[in-house]
Amino acid sequence: MSKTKHKKRHPQGKRGYTTAPVAESEFATDGTRKRMNPTARNLLFVALICLAISEILLRMELLSGAVSLIISVAALVALVVAMYLQFRKPGGGSQGRPRL
């Protein structure tokens, strides 16, 4: 009697659950998921933290406007570098024939 209840509760056997196929992301190509470059991700994170800290210190008047501006410009340069690292072509150059 207990085995029939077990079968009713767990029709798939011992596991008791079914796995649904994983839906592909809209950014996935060729069945592989594209991930963010770790260097670019870390640069973006550091730039965000620098911008936040400089803004907080500026509002608390512990940092002058000029120093805050220098930190903000450095963070924006880091953002541009992170975007370059993320979206550059992995081959390092053009893949086609050279332009004339």
Rounded Cα distance, 95 and 90, in Å: 10
Assign 40 a pLDDT band (cuts: 50, 70, 90): very high
Q: What is the pTM of this model?
A: 0.57
Rounded Cα distance, 5 and 67, in Å: 72
Tell me, what's the pLDDT at 69?
94
Tell me, what's the pLDDT at 90?
73
Long-range contacts of 49-58 (CB under 8 A, 24+ apart): 50/74, 50/75, 50/78, 51/75
**CB neighbour list of residue 9: distance below 8 Å, 6 or more residues apart:** 16
